[in-house]
Homo-oligomer: A and B are copies of this chain.
Amino acid sequence: MFDAYGTLFDVHSVVELCDELWPGKGLLLSQLWRAKQLEYSWLRSLMRRYQDFAKVTEAALGYACAALELPLDDRRRRTLMAAYRELATFPEVRDALAALKSAKIRLAILSNGSPAMLRPLVDRSGLGRSIGTVLSVDPRKIYKPAPAVYRLAVERLKVPKSAIGFVSSNCWDACGAKSFGFRTFWINRSGAPVDALGAAPDHVIRSLAELPRLIRVPVS
Which A residues are closer than 8 A to B by beta carbons?
Answer: 39-40, 42-49, 51, 59-60, 62-63, 66-67, 142-147, 172, 175-176, 179, 192-193, 195-199
Contacts and interface: CB of A to CB of B under 8 A. Distances in A.
A161 to B, nearest CB: 15
B40 A197 contact: yes
Given A45-B46, A47-B147, A40 B179 contact: no
A147 B198 CA distance: 24
A42 to B, nearest CB: 4
A193 B62 CA distance: 9
B179 A59 contact: no
B145 A63 contact: no
Contacts of A48: 147
Contacts of A45: 46
A51 B63 CA distance: 30
A39 B172 CA distance: 10
A75 to B, nearest CB: 20
B49 A197 contact: yes
13 contacts: A39-B42, A40-B195, A42-B43, A43-B195, A44-B197, A45-B46, A46-B144, A46-B176, A47-B146, A47-B179, A63-B193, A63-B195, A66-B193
